[in-house]
Chains A and B, each alone.
Chain A
């Protein structure tokens, strides 16, 4: 099949995506951790024999899909394809090979067909634990953050390596969950291999490289066309974000040059001895993601959506941290690359850009359940989504990542904590012609009878989500223990009966508030999304 017409291409392309969707669904269904099965902190991707990413499961986290092409290349440098056998599975959690921190395991399986490698399936999940301090931002060096696995052969020709499983099991707090998730990753890639081989047999193909050429070329062409439609130029933007003791500056210069974009982070604050540093692969992923959202959102993700975009940054600025800087909470800073990039894009295509979002917070909780089981789970919760021209921001929507909140009943059952309250915050959404999405308030009570260790990993407690085109900012985030504010990136102990309260921020608004449709404002007031006082103050409501 050297020439692929649009009839065949569409059919095969969709089929490859459906294979990754099924891979992802079997990962979720076999996982042992809430991170994966409730929060979808994961990714599944298919690569051709030339290590190009071709398709990804629909619910994959965008940052993982941005880092993955590099991950596969580096993993196969260590174990070159000619040394691999059918049934081998490679794994690593190295932040500079993988997704930027130790908690994500990258699991790669070569797919053999008629005796040779035709493709690779990669899955990535956030592990419930990997030892060290536990998932937090408080480490001063990476050595404190947990077990760092080089690229290892986790499974050899179908046989799991017992030494590795024992080693990992001894180093983590919840071995049954962590090892269970290793198995889930192994199982889902096996499903991918089976499905791909079935597909090749059905179409009588000897590989997917030719199809990949067409998929990549089509995607790249579409993205380049969209970039070409933007005026050439340099667009600068900078935002302030919270670091440890003081605030940090993130800066970007976006150069639109014909059909490509280059982003440079010069002017960004230096890396810190705190686990919020970002390896550059992770920073780049969010530039790519933001560009894709405003240019070609409907094109399924693959390497062609990445190639036209390049990124550079000074070494050891916080968006290009090198070892041994700790990176445990790299998303706390890394996620802000999305609004940073959107801010630069707003100068080019304001109608397609989203006002800033409240974004998500993450609290890692470790200890013991009332019934004696070990607990190590992440509580994800989301602030409001930023508004766009023509669209109000949705309430409580994760951004830019897609970690799903855990249901109250599931959380109470697995941790023994009580969720006393989970409610929208009136007036938290930034005012605007299109209002920012509401944040929420959550009260978690330690009813386990045991002490719990909690690590907060969040921002936006000093710098609110900004509005766009005259829209107002949303409210700030706050983390409190027994009513007293605590550091949003701190590590604390919750005694039995202690209450952790999270105020999740609102999203920014779009357009001047006085231009809001009166009918929509009246509905906001009736339903309590905007209070009467705020309506008068922010919208000039006369009723």
Chain B
């Protein structure tokens, strides 16, 4: 049988067909159809089928990644949504965190809550932090408020009560009442969506979940219908931000978990390459047109986090968006990509991004009216890109326009040469990415110096080797299919579902029974979700993790946990020492959050992808061109065709290796080898293997 993955991105919908027996893949890129994204999905599937000898009846599963939820939140295309909230707390969504994200900029901007104040209703009820009911739920008020909101036209409703992370009885009771009275309403319950302490974040998440629920519901039905109409009889799965697949039923309940599912799949694919290559720790680096994304992979698994900021309204500034609590692959996002605009800031230094020239007008060299210099313009001026073979030759570039834009905006004001300015743009991006990786890694006690990097995306391979050198990362792996890595990752992602819950309890007071009870209920819940996909018993593996801290601290460290609580305090201390300080503190240790994940088997385990049909070994040398390296200025370097390089062949830098969607730049002393999986493996100059 065969499987298909479809990843909808901002510009392209990437489609991959894989033969489960042989691993042979067929790749296809389709322009995204923003008005009805399912259009491109169906067309993409049909194009894949037309390219081979496979019929729709041979497809056992279709895995889907989508930016639908992210876009709906950014563009405010969700449904009219209501909120039931604990009496006295209606305005928490507007009051927010009461913190300025920028100290000196007085013109701060925060996004509006997705539920307007006029559609929030206060409900008399209260359960205290220690799970005592101090005011019973007013059932009549719940029903009356829901009916009233329904008359205002809401399609979905979020139920958000204080302290529900500790005790969800009132939220559940209210949800039952609303569902009975108004079965047509979609209901999101804050303690189900994500039972974490801190009402603003939890309620924001629950209201966003509700806000996109009708949209996702309709989208899934629509795509399901269309697939059936072309004869698809296999199963349809959707990728989550946490890096696991879920069934449509789960996606409909927790649509907020679909945020950033495409990039998550890219990081998963990096993790896969790490596992295959026997690399324990690696950096996953993806750079496209507007942003770069990085993730850390430890022991073959991308690191996680539980909060993501969406819909930032002030130049991508952290703090200017809405917080969503969900298990997500812990990714750094840097507002720098090929289309990012370079300029000079108030300090008189070169900065790149976060504003982007996008696809229109695009970089100056696209010749579509752009006059601002971008990273792509700099890379063209530096000789890294070729004006005639960019994007496989589908798009000619205007070197003069690129040079002019850099001269006008950067070189002349700073009194620098154009080529040095172009280098400054290129290098500023490298340093920003390296810096972001560095902060991210050391906050998580991740030793990047001993790791490798997997690089992909349209712009990733151009920058990767230089960034790796800055991080003392000795090896960079560039897998084939760099332009469709996320879609490939969808095919490698297992079924999984994770739950996390805040429940504070001292380690000293914890016995086996209490520990078992805390995890037991959660385990039943995650197993139920996987059972829905037909996975039960030994097919499901369970991982437990705990967020722990010294009693009184406000932030936690994640500690791996087993089936019993033995040795937890010591495990916490190990992590604490590694991340913060060797000084031991004489304070009791407590557990704050409990996390459990159920994971199904890895699809196609042990079966590598095969890309043979794209590759035909032969004379790889395409020609030579002048490229700039800061150590030696412009030098004549060989340009090679990746698709013609043989397994085992070696390329020494300086050299440029081109493929359809990206270009690898090797500097002096860098050496690339083609491994047996057709990966380009670069040993970075001057960084010793550890």
Instruction: Give the distance in Å from the alpha carbon of A14 to the alpha carbon of B110 in the complex.
Output: 25
Contacting residues, chain B, for A402 (C-beta < 8 A): 99-100, 103
Instruction: Give the distance in Å from the alpha carbon of A397 to the alpha carbon of B95 in the complex.
Output: 8
Given known contacts A10-B351, A219-B347, is B583 in contact with A354 (CB within 8 Å)? no
Instruction: Give the distance in Å from the alpha carbon of A526 to the alpha carbon of B91 in the complex.
Output: 15
Instruction: Give the distance in Å from the alpha carbon of A396 to the alpha carbon of B97 in the complex.
Output: 9
Contact at A409–B197, with CB atoms within 8 Å? yes
Instruction: Give the distance in Å from the alpha carbon of A348 to the alpha carbon of B90 in the complex.
Output: 41
CB of A232 within 8 A of chain B?
A: no
* Shortest distance from the beta carbon of B432 to any chain A beta carbon, whole Å: 7
Contact at B423–A7, with CB atoms within 8 Å? yes
CB of A71 within 8 A of chain B?
A: no
Closest A residue to B104 using CB positions: A297
Contact at A296–B346, with CB atoms within 8 Å? yes
Instruction: Give the distance in Å from the alpha carbon of A18 to the alpha carbon of B432 in the complex.
Output: 10
Contact at A405–B95, with CB atoms within 8 Å? yes
Contact at B581–A297, with CB atoms within 8 Å? no
Instruction: Give the distance in Å from the alpha carbon of A11 to the alpha carbon of B553 in the complex.
Output: 34
CB of B92 within 8 A of chain A?
A: yes
Question: What 1/0 flags go to B393-437 for Cβ under 8 Å of A?
Answer: 000000000000000000000101000100110011001100100
Question: What 1/0 flags go to A1-36 for Cβ under 8 Å of B?
Answer: 000011101110111001001100110111111101
Question: What 1/0 flags go to A33-51 for Cβ under 8 Å of B?
Answer: 1101110100000000000
Given known contacts A5-B416, A394-B108, A402-B100, is B555 in contact with A422 (CB within 8 Å)? no
* Shortest distance from the beta carbon of A225 to any chain B beta carbon, whole Å: 9
Q: CB < 8 Å: which of A13, A298, A299, A396 contacts B95?
A: A396
Contact at B129–A397, with CB atoms within 8 Å? no
* Shortest distance from the beta carbon of A527 to any chain B beta carbon, whole Å: 5
Closest A residue to B504 using CB positions: A413
Q: CB < 8 Å: which of A11, A28, A37, A195 contacts B427?
A: A11
Among the stretches B205-213, B263-271, B358-366, B438-446, the one at the interface with A is: B438-446
Contacting residues, chain A, for B676 (C-beta < 8 A): none
* Shortest distance from the beta carbon of B528 to any chain A beta carbon, whole Å: 28
Contact at B553–A405, with CB atoms within 8 Å? no
Question: What 1/0 flags go to B86-113 for Cβ under 8 Å of A?
Answer: 0111111011111110111111101000
Given known contacts A22-B443, A160-B583, A394-B110, is B104 in contact with A412 (CB within 8 Å)? no
Contact at B98–A422, with CB atoms within 8 Å? no
Given known contacts A222-B346, A299-B347, is B585 in contact with A31 (CB within 8 Å)? no
Contact at B129–A382, with CB atoms within 8 Å? no
Closest A residue to B164 using CB positions: A409
Instruction: Give the distance in Å from the alpha carbon of A31 to the alpha carbon of B442 in the complex.
Output: 18
Contacting residues, chain A, for B162 (C-beta < 8 A): 408-409, 412
Q: CB < 8 Å: which of B100, B348, B442, B552 contacts A32?
A: B552
Closest B residue to A443 using CB positions: B88
Closest A residue to B471 using CB positions: A202
Among the stretches A183-191, A324-332, A535-543, the one at the interface with B is: A183-191
Contacting residues, chain B, for A15 (C-beta < 8 A): 431, 435
For the residues of B in contact with A, the DSSP-based class is loop
Q: Name which of A289, A292, A402 has the most chain B CB atoms within 10 A of its CB.
A: A402
CB of A421 within 8 A of chain B?
A: yes
CB of A205 within 8 A of chain B?
A: no
Chain B stretch 553-584: residues in CB contact (< 8 A) with chain A: 553-555, 579-581, 583
Contacting residues, chain B, for A423 (C-beta < 8 A): 88-91
Contact at A398–B94, with CB atoms within 8 Å? no
Contact at A10–B347, with CB atoms within 8 Å? yes
Instruction: Give the distance in Å from the alpha carbon of A384 to the alpha carbon of B442 in the complex.
Output: 37
CB of A176 within 8 A of chain B?
A: yes
Contact at A26–B580, with CB atoms within 8 Å? yes
Contacting residues, chain A, for B103 (C-beta < 8 A): 58-60, 62, 402
Contacting residues, chain B, for A5 (C-beta < 8 A): 416, 420
Instruction: Give the distance in Å from the alpha carbon of A391 to the alpha carbon of B110 in the complex.
Output: 12
* Shortest distance from the beta carbon of B500 to any chain A beta carbon, whole Å: 16
Q: CB < 8 Å: which of B95, B97, B104 contacts A424?
A: B95
* Shortest distance from the beta carbon of A34 to any chain B beta carbon, whole Å: 7
Q: CB < 8 Å: which of A11, A292, A380, A447 contacts B104?
A: A292
* Shortest distance from the beta carbon of A352 to any chain B beta carbon, whole Å: 8
Instruction: Give the distance in Å from the alpha carbon of A476 to the alpha carbon of B325 in the complex.
Output: 36
CB of B369 within 8 A of chain A?
A: no
Contacting residues, chain A, for B200 (C-beta < 8 A): 407
Instruction: Give the distance in Å from the alpha carbon of A293 to the alpha carbon of B102 in the complex.
Output: 11
Contact at B199–A408, with CB atoms within 8 Å? yes
CB of B163 within 8 A of chain A?
A: yes
Contacting residues, chain B, for A9 (C-beta < 8 A): 347, 349
Contacting residues, chain B, for A202 (C-beta < 8 A): 470, 472
Chain A stretch 147-171: residues in CB contact (< 8 A) with chain B: 160
CB of A440 within 8 A of chain B?
A: yes
Question: What 1/0 flags go to B46-89 for Cβ under 8 Å of A?
Answer: 00000000000000000000000000000000000000000111
Contacting residues, chain B, for A396 (C-beta < 8 A): 94-96, 98
* Shortest distance from the beta carbon of A289 to any chain B beta carbon, whole Å: 8
Question: What 1/0 flags go to A261-286 for Cβ under 8 Å of B?
Answer: 00000000000000000000000000
Instruction: Give the distance in Å from the alpha carbon of A11 to the alpha carbon of B424 in the complex.
Output: 9
CB of B165 within 8 A of chain A?
A: yes
CB of A200 within 8 A of chain B?
A: no
Given known contacts A408-B199, A424-B95, is B580 in contact with A218 (CB within 8 Å)? no
Closest B residue to A396 using CB positions: B95
Contacting residues, chain B, for A527 (C-beta < 8 A): 116-118
Contact at B129–A412, with CB atoms within 8 Å? yes
CB of A418 within 8 A of chain B?
A: yes
Contacting residues, chain A, for B42 (C-beta < 8 A): none
Given known contacts A22-B439, A394-B108, is B165 in contact with A37 (CB within 8 Å)? no
Instruction: Give the distance in Å from the alpha carbon of A15 to the alpha carbon of B583 in the complex.
Output: 27
Contact at B91–A440, with CB atoms within 8 Å? yes
Contacting residues, chain A, for B580 (C-beta < 8 A): 26, 29-30, 187, 191
CB of A420 within 8 A of chain B?
A: yes
Chain A stretch 400-441: residues in CB contact (< 8 A) with chain B: 402, 404-405, 407-410, 412-413, 418-424, 440
* Shortest distance from the beta carbon of B240 to any chain A beta carbon, whole Å: 26
Contacting residues, chain A, for B345 (C-beta < 8 A): 10, 298
Contact at A410–B197, with CB atoms within 8 Å? yes
Contact at A10–B581, with CB atoms within 8 Å? no
CB of B391 within 8 A of chain A?
A: no
Instruction: Give the distance in Å from the alpha carbon of A413 to the alpha carbon of B128 in the complex.
Output: 9
Q: CB < 8 Å: which of A32, A176, A398 contacts B98?
A: A398
CB of B385 within 8 A of chain A?
A: no
Contact at A14–B431, with CB atoms within 8 Å? yes
Given known contacts A180-B553, A180-B587, A405-B97, is B439 in contact with A7 (CB within 8 Å)? no
Closest A residue to B426 using CB positions: A7
CB of A177 within 8 A of chain B?
A: yes
Contact at A13–B349, with CB atoms within 8 Å? yes
Contact at B432–A404, with CB atoms within 8 Å? no
Contact at B95–A14, with CB atoms within 8 Å? no
Question: What 1/0 flags go to B177-207 for Cβ under 8 Å of A?
Answer: 0000000000000000000011110000000
Q: Could you give 12 example pairs across A and B, Cβ below 8 Å?
A: A18-B435, A26-B580, A28-B554, A160-B583, A186-B581, A187-B581, A354-B106, A370-B130, A390-B107, A407-B198, A412-B162, A447-B128
Which residues of B come within 8 Å of A, CB atoms?
87-92, 94-100, 102-108, 110, 116-118, 126, 128-130, 134, 162-163, 165, 197-200, 344-351, 414, 416, 420, 423-424, 427-428, 431-432, 435, 438-439, 442-443, 470, 472, 504, 550-555, 579-581, 583, 585, 587
Which residues of A come within 8 Å of B, CB atoms?
5-7, 9-11, 13-15, 18, 21-22, 25-26, 28-34, 36-38, 40, 58-60, 62, 160, 176-177, 180, 183, 186-187, 190-191, 195, 202, 218-219, 221-222, 289, 292-293, 296-301, 354, 370, 380-382, 385, 388, 390-391, 394-398, 402, 404-405, 407-410, 412-413, 418-424, 440, 443, 447, 526-529
Closest 5 pairs between A and B when the two form their complex, measured CB to CB: A10-B349, A37-B554, A405-B98, A421-B88, A187-B581
Known: A32-B553, A180-B550, A293-B106. 4 other contacts (CB 8 A): A11-B431, A37-B555, A60-B103, A412-B162
